Amino acid sequence: MGAKPAILLLTLFGPGLLPALAAADANIVIGSKRFTESYLLGEIVTQSASAAGEANPIHRRGLGNTAIVFEALKSGAIDVYPEYTGTIWRELIGQQGPPNAGLMREELALQGIGMTQPLGFNNTYALAMGESQAAALGVARISDLTEHSGLRLGLSHEFIGRADGWNGLRQAYGLPFTAPRGLDHGLAYEALVAGEVDVIDAYTTDAKLQEYGLRVLEDDKGYFPRYDAVLLYRLDLPARLPATFSALERLAGRIDKDDMRSMNAAAEVQGRDFSAIAAEFLGSRADNGKRRQGFLVRLVAPDLLRLTVEHLLLTFVSLAAAAAVGIPLGILAARVTEAGQAILVTVGVVQTIPSLALFAFLIPLLGTIGLAPALVALFLYSLLPIVRNTHAGLTGAPAGLRQAALALGLKPRQSLRHVELPIALPTILAGIKTSAVINVGTATIAAFIGAGGYGERIAQGLALNDHAMLLAGAVPAAALALLVHGGFEILDRWAVPEGLRAAAITPNGRG
């Protein structure tokens, strides 16, 4: 980078970055996974840290599955998050048998991570069925399922993929099921009640087990270990924020199973606010009795402006970077035949990588969660339509025009600039428009790694099966996509002469 661009960047962003950097040590960033109990525990940790008065707590809600949150902790992107000993034992350090707290601490310390004493409750995995169906089939234990191979299983995606999840359970019990249906945990109960599945995985502190009258099947072979709730933290936290860490240690043994189930019920059944539930439990303020509000109130809630700005930032910063890289790549692919196929295949392969898998890879690579990995992922997903359309626009230009330009004495670079690119402009703009609309939708996934945007509402709605909250995130995203599409239509009419628009090649969008 030259001196002038560097000076310009410092001038624009320096005043905002310096205070943030100076205050970094005074922040404690709390993470939570994408289910109700983790949201609640994260909020309890956040309010406990705030009460210590030593640091500014930042709660990154709903950061996705175990792999993403743990990588965020190891990289230093977050400082602490709630976890379970069974998950640590089997999933994070790859051990079998009953969990050993001493060995867990030794293994975690090698990665710069510490573990608190248990918070007071064991929330182990379980399989659950509707009570009437289980009674009719005589199913009370997990081993009873071996006699009912026709039952339909609906299991959470994380449970299906975990080392301590479905595959190990199926082998331990010799279960005759091979292809369970993958469901978001927040939707599994509704699917069971609706009769779409017969058996789901559950947490033993789930409030909906009692609400829907479900039977928890006995783990008669003792497959599932104890899943005592603990806090995982970075080992530098006690020295960096001693008063805050002391407040977090005081949570040990304070939350029993009934407390946790009641808090889950308050969120999922009564529709109360996470922060109010946590505050009532901690006794830090009177419960405000806040309940779920309707769709219109959720839609125009005070966070709408913030979420919109975040979503626009995610969409257009990544789009601008993709256009700056994708157009030259498309030109190279069109001009150099040997490189063209390799470039198109590469950007095509990138498009097939699942978003959460890409996030999980980028977090340790970049050493952070939030905006940076989200922008990189969206940039990569934006390349394909831009590269393809640039390549298509240039290769589709009439060969006679290129020959005429050369005959008039124009050099290849001049021909590209004054003849070929103007002809290809409608197709290139169509590719950028396609990427922009795709980005608006894909940016909602970025909320799962703390990057904000409308996905925050969607993630919370999924966790609570709150349809109003889901719509309050999905509707603005859809409206923004329509606005972006309309904006590019106006840009196309302004920037491209009518004759070129009429002769434009049909654009190639995302496959």
Can you tell me the distance from the alpha carbon of 378 to that of 134, in angstroms, rounded to the nearest whole number? 46
Place of tokens 């979420």: 307
3-class secondary structure per residue, 286-349: CCCCCCCCCHHHHHCCCCHHHHHHHHHHHHHHHHHHHHHHHHHHHHHHHHCHHHHHHHHHHHHH
- Would you give per-residue pLDDT tens digits along the chain (511 residues)? 444 444 433 343 344 444 444 444 589 999 999 888 999 999 999 999 999 999 999 998 888 788 889 988 998 989 999 999 999 998 899 888 788 999 999 999 999 999 999 999 999 889 999 999 999 999 999 999 999 999 999 998 888 887 778 989 999 999 999 878 888 777 888 889 889 999 999 988 988 888 888 999 999 998 988 899 999 999 999 999 999 999 999 999 999 998 999 999 998 888 888 889 999 999 854 444 445 567 788 788 888 999 999 999 999 999 999 999 999 999 999 888 888 889 999 999 998 888 878 887 888 888 777 888 899 999 999 999 999 999 988 888 766 666 666 666 677 677 777 777 888 888 899 999 999 999 999 999 888 787 889 988 888 787 766 778 889 989 999 999 999 999 988 887 777 666 555 555 444 444 3
Domains and CATH numbers, the chain: 25-122+227-291 (3.40.190.10), 125-216 (3.40.190.120), 304-502 (1.10.3720.10)
pLDDT value for 289:
45
- CB–CB of 265/207 below 8 Å? yes
Angle made by CA atoms 384, 390, 393, in degrees to the nearest 5: 130
115-130 core/surface letters (b: 16 or more CB in 10 A; e: else): bbebbbbbbbbbbbbb
pLDDT value for 362:
86
| 3-state secondary structure (DSSP) of residue 126 | strand
pLDDT value for 21:
41
Place of tokens 């995130």: 473
Can you tell me the distance from the alpha carbon of 436 to that of 439, in angstroms, rounded to the nearest whole number? 5
